[in-house]
Amino acid sequence: MLRFFVKRTIAIIPLVLLVSLICFALMQATPGGPVAVLTDNPMVGPEDVARIRANFGFDRPVIVQYGLWLKRVLFHGDFGHSYVTGEPVIEMIWQRLPATLELMGAAFLLAFLFGLSGGIVAALKRYTKFDSVIMLVTLFGISIPVFWLGLMSMMLFTVKWRLLPSAGMFALGVPFSVLDHLRHLLMPALVLSLLFIASWSRYMRASLSDVLAMNYINVARAKGATRGSVVFRHAVRNAAIPVLTVIALNLPALFTGSIITETIFAWPGMGRLFYDGLLRQDYTRLMGIIFIASALIAVLNLIADTIYGILDPRIRLAR
Amino acid sequence: MAFSTPVLDSPAKGGSRRTVVVQTVHPLRDTLRSSPTRASRGREHNYFSSVLRRSPLAYAALIVMSLVVLGAVFAPLMSPYHKDKIDLTRQYLPPSLDHPFGTDDLGRDIFVRVMHGGRISLAVGFLAMLVALLIGVAAGGVAGYYGGWVDTVLMRAVDLMLAVPVFFVILFLSSVVSPKISIVAVCLMIGCTQWMEVARLVRAVVMTTKEHEFVDAARTLGLPDRRIIVRHLLPHTTAPVLVAVTLGLAQAIIIESGLSFLGFGVQPPTPSWGAMLQNAQSYLSDCPWIAIFPGLMICLTVVCCNVLADFLGEAMSPARRAAR
């Protein structure tokens, strides 16, 4: 198991490096380079631009710059300073990361619980009215773009029924309370999770239906195992393995979904930080976030792989 | 018809070997195709329409999708208003007979803009999928046919792309290119991040199909690899690829709308369904129709794509065909 884990860990390193290299190269390839914003400013003369370029080291070859950037990141955890605010990028990210992880975690939990249980129930009641309703709802669930779902739920729950707050993490001017925080979390988390509730329950339904048709399930039934034992001890455990692959593959999507969700609901997380960076062309910030995001996704994938290896010995032993 | 594809008789799918026998009748012709004869093509067509009739949901999706496409094609004829005509005396009008979807903050008719938006959104979706299809088929075909290190490299690239936070990277790219990002660039960016599924499917089918005798026969005849891949192997991938492309179309439309919604895709005043939603958030309380209708069109289109992909997958799966 340890060897498997170490091998997978090593495999993610080139991925993160490659993504950051590509982004770095693209950043340099922009017309005017990273200081393009300054050259448009009539108050900044060409000699100032040259000085700024030299200060930031932009006059050196891209690969050297990348090497220096990487060295600072790896050895000092230093992503440089924001072009716009001058703050260290790592601090900006550090402040925002918990909010994103909280939103993602809540959405993941909702999706996991409702998605898998919905899929199990649908598979057990296959071809009944209940099953068709779940299938129809999940069909729309996988088809609604997350930002429109956000707008519509805001329209209903905030504007029309005045049930839930539409923005931020806390009510302003009120002492902190957990309940208030959860009220703020509920709508963004639900909006972000709907896609995954829907798609995971469809996968779970398909996978469990296949497993339930297998001979060993009949054997278990013939032995006189109770319905609950057949479904949960024999069927669900095997049916969950392919679904877990899908879940692992969806983790990047959960992360990217959070950019849009955070933007709509003014949730002060990394997605929002990224979006602000895009609007202000703050390239050091964007680089830092993409680097952290790909590292985070790689780690999430690694965790998923490990769980997968624990669940299914064949995968662990095959490699 | 895209439906009557040779793969329906694909020996690789474990179905009949009848088609292989058909080929051996004309062993010396280059066009040793594994495609069905004209008569059997007719049968395929009937098969599809009969299955379609038995699946009301797919039937409905086909009709709705056709309506959306027709609406987009004939957009200028659908309404007396012009898509970009600003009329400040008609701002924020709720839906009425005059303006079925209401008017927006600049007094433009939302209905005609939604129809025009369909042109952009569908075109971006189709073009992006075309790009993804080209890359995916090329990568998958080469990887599956040659195997070895070519395969390893290409499949590693697929794994890599699957683990990248794609939406972040696309947003980053468009901010690098913006503000004058062209629609073609949007298509290219989306296409370049959606080809992996196609590549995997094509590779899998090519790998199993190349073991058949008709490929040996083609090789014996001295056909170049390119021709073997394109004419003899790729047709067998049509069914799974068609399903993947239909799903991918839905995905591309969602990505485009998300990009445009955030302001990094199709730029105003060009209407695309996502771009029309860009400012909708500010008008949620007073004129919700600005937010409702463009989004509804995205949902409808994507639902139809998903239903049709499901249907194609079912209808083309050899196991189900045999059962019917």
| The total number of residues written for chain B in this structure | 324
pLDDT reading at A37 higher than 80 = no
pLDDT reading at A319 higher than 50 = no
Least confident of A112-116, A178-182, B301-305: A178-182
- Comparing A70 with A34, the larger pLDDT belongs to A70
Least confident of A102-106, A108-112, B234-238: B234-238
- Per-position DSSP letters for B242-288, written without gaps between them: HHHHHHHHHHHHHHHHHHHHHTSSSPTTS--HHHHTTTGGGGTTT-T
What pLDDT does residue B20 have? Answer: 38
What pLDDT does residue B103 have? Answer: 86
Collapsed DSSP state (helix, strand, coil) of residue B237: helix
User: Nearest CB to A278: which of B171, B285, B306?
Assistant: B171
Burial class (CB in 10 A: 0-12, 13-18, 19+), A167: middle
Q: Do A259 and B168 touch (CB under 8 A)?
A: yes
Q: How far apart are CA B288 and CA A144, in angstroms?
A: 17
Cα B84 to chain centroid, rounded: 29
> Which residues from A are below 8 Å from B295, CB to CB?
145, 148, 151-152
Query: B123 and B190 in contact (C-beta within 8 Å)?
Result: no
User: Nearest CB to B250: which of A143, A256, A289?
Assistant: A143
User: Nearest CB to A159: which of B160, B284, B292?
Assistant: B284
- Comparing B306 with A43, the larger pLDDT belongs to B306
Q: What is the pTM of this model?
A: 0.84
Q: Give which of B304, B277, B303, B282 is closest to B292, Cα–Cα.
A: B277
Q: How far apart are CA A307 and CA A233, in angstroms?
A: 18
User: Nearest CB to A147: which of B164, B277, B288?
Assistant: B277
Least confident of A37-41, A275-279, B26-30: B26-30
Helix A270-280 / helix B166-177 crossing angle, nearest 10 deg: 20
What pLDDT does residue B29 have? Answer: 39
What pLDDT does residue B7 have? Answer: 37
Q: Do A23 and B169 touch (CB under 8 A)?
A: yes
pLDDT reading at B2 higher than 50 = no
> Which residues from B are below 8 Å from A289, CB to CB?
168
- Comparing A26 with A221, the larger pLDDT belongs to A221
Q: How far apart are CA B199 and CA B156, in angstroms?
A: 12
**What is each CA distance from B136 to B144, B154, B229, in whole angstroms?**
12, 10, 14
Amino acid sitting at position B199: A
User: Nearest CB to A259: which of B167, B176, B263?
Assistant: B167
pLDDT reading at A112 higher than 80 = yes
pLDDT above 70: percentage of residues in chain B: 82
- The residue whose two tokens read 């054997």 is A219
Least confident of A91-95, A150-154, A243-247: A243-247
Average pLDDT value for residue range B114-125 = 92
Phi-psi category of residue A86: left, alpha or beta, with phi > 0 → left and psi -120 to 50 → alpha: left
Query: B13 and B7 in contact (C-beta within 8 Å)?
Result: yes
What pLDDT does residue B98 have? Answer: 81
- The residue whose two tokens read 């939406």 is B167
The residues pairing with B109 across neighbouring beta strands, listed in sequence order, are: B103
Among B65, B168, B264, B300, pick the best mutation site for testing chain A contact (most A Cβ within 10 A).
B168
Q: How far is A282 from chain B (nearest CA, A)?
A: 10
Q: How far is A178 from chain B (nearest CA, A)?
A: 28
The tens digit of pLDDT for each residue in B158-209 reads 887 877 778 888 888 888 776 667 888 889 999 998 999 999 999 999 999 9
> Which residues from A are below 8 Å from B60, CB to CB?
none
Chain B touched by A303 (CB under 8 Å)? no
Q: Which residues of A273-282 are buried (b: 16+ CB within 10 A; e: fewer)?
A: bbbebbebbb
Amino acid sitting at position B275: A
Tell me which chain B residue has its CA closest to the CA of residue A138. B303
Q: How many CA atoms lie within 13 A of A24 on its CB side?
A: 20
Number of other residues whose CB lies within 10 A of the CB of residue B204: 16
Sorting pLDDT into bands at 50, 70 and 90, what band is B30? Answer: very low
pLDDT reading at A38 higher than 70 = no
Tell me which chain A residue has its CA closest to the CA of residue B285. A159
What pLDDT does residue A190 have? Answer: 94
**What is each CA distance from B44 to B8, B114, B310, B315, B316, in whole angstroms?**
8, 37, 18, 11, 10
What pLDDT does residue B304 have? Answer: 95
Q: How many CA atoms lie within 13 A of A188 on its CB side?
A: 33
Q: How far apart are CA B145 and CA B157, in angstroms?
A: 17
Sign of torsion over alpha carbons A210, A211, A212, A218: positive
The tens digit of pLDDT for each residue in A59-72 reads 777 788 888 888 88
What pLDDT does residue A34 have? Answer: 64
Q: How far apart are CA B99 and CA B102, in angstroms?
A: 5
Q: How far apart are CA B74 and CA B78, in angstroms?
A: 7
Chain B touched by A28 (CB under 8 Å)? no
**What is each CA distance from A293 to A101, A133, B134, B164, in whole angstroms?**
11, 37, 29, 9
Backbone angles phi, psi at A315, to 5 degrees: -70, -40
Q: How many CA atoms lie within 13 A of B244 on its CB side?
A: 19
Q: ipTM of this predicted complex?
A: 0.85
Residue B290: DSSP 8-state: H
The tens digit of pLDDT for each residue in B14-24 reads 333 333 333 33
Backbone angles phi, psi at B103, to 5 degrees: -125, 160
Among B156, B172, B197, pick the best mutation site for testing chain A contact (most A Cβ within 10 A).
B172
pLDDT above 70: percentage of residues in chain A: 94
As a 3-state breakdown, chain A gives helix, strand, coil percent values, each rounded to 5, of 80, 0, 20
pLDDT reading at B37 higher than 50 = no
Say which residues have a Cβ less than 8 Å from residue B278's Cβ, sequence separation at least 6.
Answer: B260, B261, B262, B263, B268
Cis peptide before B80 (omega within 30 of 0): no
The tens digit of pLDDT for each residue in B229-248 reads 999 999 888 888 999 999 99
The tens digit of pLDDT for each residue in A134-151 reads 999 999 999 999 999 999
What pLDDT does residue B79 have? Answer: 79
User: Nearest CB to A260: which of B169, B258, B291?
Assistant: B258
Instruction: State chain A's mean pLDDT as an integer.
Output: 84
Q: Do B165 and A260 touch (CB under 8 A)?
A: no
Q: How far apart are CA B261 and CA B263, in angstroms?
A: 5
User: Nearest CB to B284: which of A154, A249, A274?
Assistant: A154
Q: How far apart are CA B125 and CA B144, in angstroms?
A: 27
- Comparing B113 with A47, the larger pLDDT belongs to B113
Least confident of A125-134, A152-161, A228-237, B5-14: B5-14
What pLDDT does residue A107 have? Answer: 96
The tens digit of pLDDT for each residue in A186-224 reads 999 999 999 999 999 999 999 999 999 999 998 998 998
Average pLDDT value for residue range B276-292 = 86
Q: How far apart are CA B12 and CA B234, in angstroms?
A: 12
What pLDDT does residue B21 have? Answer: 36
What pLDDT does residue B35 have? Answer: 45
> Which residues from A are below 8 Å from B164, CB to CB?
15, 19, 252, 294, 297
The tens digit of pLDDT for each residue in A71-84 reads 888 888 788 888 77
Q: How far is B68 from chain A (nearest CA, A)?
A: 16
pLDDT above 90: percentage of residues in chain B: 36
Least confident of A89-93, A133-137, B312-316: B312-316
Q: Do B166 and A256 touch (CB under 8 A)?
A: yes
Chain B touched by A106 (CB under 8 Å)? no
What pLDDT does residue B124 have? Answer: 94
Query: B186 and B125 in contact (C-beta within 8 Å)?
Result: no
State which of A166-175, A176-185, A294-303, B56-65 shows the largest mean pLDDT: B56-65
Query: A175 and A96 in contact (C-beta within 8 Å)?
Result: no
